[in-house]
Amino acid sequence: MQMWSLIGNSQRLDGGAMFGNAPKALWSRWIATDEQNRIPLACRCLLVKDLDGRNVLFETGIGAFFEPALRERYGVVEAHHVLLDSLAEAGLSHEDVDVVVLSHLHFDHAGGLLAAWEEGQAPRLLFPKARFVVGAEHWLRAQHPHPRDRASFIPQLGALLEQSGRLERVEGEYSQVLGKSVRLSYSQGHTPGLMLAEVGGVVFCADLIPGRFWVHLPITMGYDRWPEMLIDEKQAFLDDKLARNVRLFFTHDHDCAMARVTRDERGRYGTTDEQRELKGLVIA
């Protein structure tokens, strides 16, 4: 099988929100802000071609479903659906994708399921042949969100996924559609039931670890529901991936798609073997 890192629509969000209670004097050494204190963020997806004969896409990024005013509010840079261009560069269209795996249903991870916004047009689901895989616990959260994160969900998306007849809500370590090829685990600190997918020695970190800078244990996002829980989960996650030499795939790191985790003599986690993009990486 082959792995491709696919860039979707990018964002610029407030750096303070992305680094939680860490002071700007710390995180500004890692990443520069613009005049509005925003930092660049990718919405990167992982494509695995020929995974048991299928094309499997892990997440779809934020897409271009927002109307112009909301696109500006949430810092979405491009107006067109960038993921469709990235799929084309990998030799596919959205119609060629067999399975879409969603870590969770926040709009910056699932918005790319929808066609680009058109005035007067209702939201429309792309990927007409794909099965959609999402964690059962998180699905319930998305249907009944808390006021704190209600704005993070797309109101129409749940109904569109159910109406497709191709939705699988997963409980446990493996899904029916993917079988033993993709191992699933779960996290609660960012959002209830966040699903983390591991395939071919690579794990899609989603919002448990958005990028390299968040590998450092104390660093969390202001968007995380339970930061202390997330830190505990992150430590156990990193220890496991370090012990098994599993590489980390980052969705929001603007300049790094994949890296290996390290731990120094002080116990501090970091990354090495950083790769900016994957273009047909062959996995045995």
**CA 128, chain centre distance (Å):** 21
172 torsion bin: left (phi>0), alpha (psi -120 to 50), beta (else): left
Alpha carbons 166 and 211: distance in angstroms, whole number: 31
Alpha carbons 106 and 142: distance in angstroms, whole number: 8
DSSP state of 94: G
The set of long-range contacts for 85-88, using a CB threshold of 8 Å and a minimum separation of 24, is: 86/6, 86/7, 86/8, 86/45, 87/6, 87/47
Name the packing angle between helices 136-143 and 157-164 (round to 10°). 130
Is the predicted pLDDT of residue 216 greater than 80, yes or no? yes
For the record, the structure tokens of 170 come out as 């997963």
Tell me if 138 sits within 8 A of 145, measured CB to CB: no
Which amino acid makes up residue 256? C
CATH of the domain at 236: 3.60.15.10
H or E, element range at 185: strand 183-187
- How confident is the model over 115-135, as pLDDT tens digits? 999 999 999 999 999 999 999
Could you tell me how many residues make up the chain?
284
Please compute the mean of the pLDDT values over residues 139-146 and round it to a whole number. Answer: 96
Map tokens 């970091």 to a residue: 270
Tell me if 43 sits within 8 A of 5, measured CB to CB: no
For the record, the structure tokens of 23 come out as 């002071």
Alpha carbons 235 and 215: distance in angstroms, whole number: 9
pTM over 0.95: yes
Number of domains in the chain: 1
- How confident is the model over 151-161, as pLDDT tens digits? 999 999 999 99
Is the predicted pLDDT of residue 42 greater than 80, yes or no? yes
Domain of 227 in residue numbering reads as: 2-282
The set of long-range contacts for 224-229, using a CB threshold of 8 Å and a minimum separation of 24, is: 224/20, 224/189, 224/190, 225/148, 225/149, 225/188, 225/189, 225/190, 225/191, 225/192, 226/188, 226/189, 227/20, 227/21, 227/189, 228/189, 229/188, 229/189
- How confident is the model over 72-117, as pLDDT tens digits? 999 999 999 999 999 999 999 999 999 999 999 999 999 999 999 9
pLDDT of residue 284: 75
Alpha carbons 229 and 242: distance in angstroms, whole number: 20
Please compute the mean of the pLDDT values over residues 166-190 and round it to a whole number. Answer: 97
pLDDT of residue 275: 98
Residues with Cβ within 8 Å of 239's Cβ and at least 6 positions away in sequence, in order, are none
